[in-house]
Amino acid sequence: MNKICIDDGFVINLRYFAVTEDDMAKYSKSDSNFPPPHNININNNNLLIKHTPTMSVVTISSPEQFGTLLNSSRIVIADFYADWCAPCKAIAPVYDSLARQLSRPNQITFTKINGDEQKDLAQTYGVRAYPTFIVFENGRKTQTVAGANSQKLNEVIQKLATEATKSDGADGGEGSSGGTWLGATVAKGYTDVTDQTDPKGLELLNRDDQFGEPRVLFEPTRPSALAKGKSAGDVKDWVESDTDEQLMLYVPFQSTLKVHSLQITSFPPTDEEDDDETPMRPKTISLYTNRSHVLGFDEAEDIPSVQTVEIKAEDWDAKTGTANVPLRFVKFQNVTSLVLFFVDGDGDGEKLRVDRVRVIGDSGEKRSMGKLEKIGDEPGE
C-alpha cells in the first residue's frame, strides 16, 4: 500500500490523495517540489518525508547559552517542546518557516528548548504544557502561546516582527526595545526582571501626592523627562518626597529572584528652578530583603541593612539620568521582596526625586506554581 511516512511517526495513506508512484518519483527527483525543510526519498513505494530543523533556529543546550541570547538579541522566541509530544512535531514546520522568514541577527532570534532536558529553564519560565512558545523582549518575558495554535503563533510573531522593523530607526533610550526602556546596559548573564514586581503590593512612604504613584517607578515606558521641547515633564511620571528628603519603598515580587543590581533613574535640577524647591538625586540607599511589609523610618534605622550603597556623582549617566547600582549578589539570593530606604540626596535640598527603578538578575519559579500539564499526548504516545 502506498503511503507517506514521516520520520517522526506520522503516516498519511496516499490513497486519500490519489498519489501515484509516478507522482512519488517526481517528488523524489527534486526536493523543491515539497516545502522545506524536508528531505524526500522513495523506499519500497513509500514517500519518506524527513523534517530537519532550519539553521535559523538555535537549539538551547544550557541556561547559560539561553541567558547570553537574551542579552544579545532584542527579541527572542523560545519553543519549549518534548520529543514525545505529537502536537510539538506537528507545529514544528510552521515555527521553522517563521524563523526562516523573520530571523535577524541580534534583533529577532528563534530558539528551541527541550523541556525534558532543560528542566530548570522550563521551571524558571513557568512552562506547564508542551508546546509552549514564549516571547522575550529585551530580556523580559512579554507573551506566551500555549499549545499547537499555529494561527495564534503566526499572528504574535508577525506582529512582533512588524513592530521591530518600525522601531529600528526610532529614538529610544539606552535599552529601548518593544516599548521597554532601560537607562543602562544589563550585565552579561543577567536580565531585566522588573516585570516580576507585584504592582498591587507596592508601598511608598513620605510620597508627595502631587506627583506619581509608586507604580510609575516600574513603568516600562521611557521617562517623560527625556522628551524634547515644551512637552518634557508634562506628565508627572516620577515620585518626589514630601516633608523631607527620605523615601521608603516596599517592592514585593511575584517570583523568587536573584538580584544582581539595580538601575536608579533620577533627573538633575535645571538652572531655571528655585534652589529651595529643587529635588535632589538619591545618594545613600539602604536595602532590606524578604520583609512582609514596608518598614517605618525609625524601624529601618534600628535594623541592620543587607547592604547600604552610595551613588557618586560620576555614577549617573548624563544621557539617561541613570545610575547602575551593583549589589553583593550572594546576599540577594531567593529574594521575595525588597525595601529600598532612600536615606539622603546628593545636595542640601529637602526633596528627593526618583523617575524609574529597574531590577536586574535572575527570575526563579513563581511563588504559586501548579503541576506541569502536558497538552495533547502522554509520554510514549
Of the listed 4, 57, 60, 85, which one is catalytic? 85
C-alpha span between 52 and 112 (Å, rounded): 13
Length of the chain: 381
- The CA distance from 127 to 114, in Å, is 11
From 88, 239, 309, 360, active-site residue? 88
Exposed / middle / buried, residue 259 (Cβ in 10 Å: 0-12, 13-18, 19+):
buried
C-alpha 186 chain-centroid distance: 12
Residue in the block written with cell 524647591: 277
Question: Measured at the alpha carbon of residue 215, what is the angle toward residues 365 and 161, in degrees to the nearest 5?
Answer: 65
Contacts of 260 (CB under 8 A, 6+ apart): 187, 190, 326, 327, 329, 332, 360, 361, 362
User: CA neighbours within 13 Å on the CB side: how many for 279?
Assistant: 21
Q: Are 250 and 203 in contact (CB under 8 A)?
A: yes
**Residue 85 bears catalytic tag:** yes
Report the DSSP pairing between strands 140-146 and 203-205. unpaired
Instruction: Examine the residue annotation and report whether 5 is marked as an active-site residue of this protein.
Output: no
Distances (CA, A) of 350 to 224, 246, 265, 298, 346: 23, 9, 19, 18, 11
Which of 257, 256, 210 has its CA nearest to residue 237?
210
Query: Catalytic positions, please?
Result: 85, 88
